[in-house]
Structure 1
C-alpha cells in the first residue's frame, strides 16, 4: 500500500521522527465534551503519487481526524474503535498522526499528533476520519509515546488509508517495524474491518497475521484492502493476546 511504501522508505533512511505535539484548540474542545456533533474542517486537495502521495490532512490541519463520543459514531463514515481488554493492567497512551505535515510535505510523523489520548482497561474510545485521510497511530502502556534513541515512535503501529482518492480503496495494517528496529517491546495489536473478514494483527506472543515486521518490510501486498469509497469501521484491540 502507498502508506507502507512510504514508511519503508523512511525507516531505511532514518528520516522520520515523532515527538510530543499539541492538539488544535477546536479538537481539544471536541474531545473534552462533544456537546454538539463534532465536524471536520475543510478538505485539502491531494498531491504527489506513490510513496509521496498526500491526501486530505484537514483545514485547519488535523481537523480531518476527531476523537468523539460514542453517541456520534453512527454519523461518521470512517471510524476506528479502540478497545483495551480487561486484562490490561494500566492505562495506555494512543497518538494519531497524518501522513503529511502542516507544510504539505510527507513529514506528518515529526511530532504532529492530531490526537493524543489515554485509554483505560475495558474502555473503548472512538476516532473518526474524513475521506482521503492517511496516517497512523502508536499505542503503548503509560502516559506518553514510546520513542527510540533518535526520538521516533517505537511502539507497535496501526496504519490507515481511508477512501484514497488515487486508488479508490481503503487499507489498514499493524506494523512492528519501528519497535523491532529499536530492539524495543512489540505490543500486541489487532485491526479488523467490520465490512470484511480480514484482520491484521501481531499478538503479544509474536503471532503475525497480515501485518508488517522486520522480516517482511519489503513486501507491499500484506495489508488488507477494501475497494471503493464505502464506509469502513476498524475494530482496534490494543494489548492483543490472540
Structure 2
C-alpha cells in the first residue's frame, strides 16, 4: 500500500512536493452497611482524566485529483487538525493509535506534524504554515503523538528548526502515516521518506519507524531499507502495512544507522 501518492507524485507541479462501608453518627457499625459501586478498571478510571479527540461532523472537502482524492479525517468544522494530539508519555496505552518519537541524538530537535489535506482543503498540509502542531524533542527524550482513526499525514524534525525547500515545503526526513484508513478496510501504514530532501539536495538525517519487528529506515545521507529514498517517486508498496487494530509506531529521530 502506498501511503501518500500525492507526496510522491506531484513533483512536476509542486516540487515533490485525552464496599466502602459507611457509618452515621449514631448509625450501625461500619460493617453492617454495604454500598454497591460499579467496578472501574484503572484504564477506565484514567479515561475520565485523559484528553479526548474532538467529536462532531468531519470536514467533507476533497482534493481534486482523482487518484489522490481521499481525504480521511482532518478534524471537525472549526477545529482543523484536532485528530492529532500530543499526549503525556504515560498515557500512550490509553489510545488506539500512537507514534512514540525518541530522539537518539544529544541535539534537541524541533518537530512538526501535518495532515495530507491542508486547512483550506488543498493537498498542501506539508507546507510551512499549514502544519497541525509543533513540539520540541530534547536530546534522548520521548514524545507521544496520538492519532484518531482515518487520519493521513506526516511529521519531520530538524535542528535547530525544521528545514524547508525554497517553496516552503518541509524537508529533512519524513515519517508518513496512514492510520485506520476507512477506505482500505481499516488497515494502517507508515514509512520513512527522504524524497523531498533528496530532490532538492538538502541534508538527509536518519529516521527509522517500526511496528514491532518491521521497520522502514532512512540512513544519514539518504540510503535506506524499506523506505522512500531519492529517485523512488514512482515506487509503490514501500514501508509498513498494518492490519486493522491498534497501531504502536516507534520512531527514532536522528537515527544513526546500523
Asked if Structure 1 and Structure 2 have the same fold, meaning a TM-score greater than 0.5 normalized by the shorter chain, the answer is: yes
- Which of 204, 215, 219 lines up with 2:235 in the alignment? 219
The Cα RMSD (Å) is 2.2
The one of 174, 189, 202 equivalent to 1:157 is: 174
Structure 1 match to 2:145: 127
Residue 36 (structure 1) shift: 4.0
For 1:11, the equivalent position in structure 2 comes to: 11
Q: TM-score, normalised by structure 1?
A: 0.84
SS across alignment from 2:71: coil
Question: Contact 1:16/1:109 (CA < 8 Å) preserved in 2?
Answer: no
> More deviation in 73-82 or 2-11?
2-11
- Report the structure number with the largest CA radius of gyration: 2
Runs of 4+ off more than 6 Å = none
Paired residues of 2:203 and 2:221 also in contact (CA < 8 A) = no
Matched, 1:231 2:246: yes
- What corresponds to 1:106 in structure 2? 123
Residue equivalent to 1:183? 201
Structure 1 residue 182: deviation in Å? 1.3
The residue aligned with 2:256 is: 241
Q: List runs of 5+ in structure 1 lacking aligned partners.
A: 18-25, 27-34
CA contact (8 A) 1:189 1:238 kept: yes
Aligned length: 220
Which structure is higher in RCO with an 8 Å CA cutoff and minimum separation 6?
Answer: 1
Deviation at 1:5, TM superposition (A): 1.1
SS of the residue corresponding to residue 166 of structure 1 reads helix
Given the alignment, which residue of 138, 141, 158 partners 2:156? 138
Mean Cα deviation higher: 127-136 or 40-49: 40-49
Deviation string for 1:48-70 (max 9, x for gaps)? 66412100011211110000101
Conserved 8 A contact 2:54-2:75: yes
TM-score, normalization by structure 2: 0.79
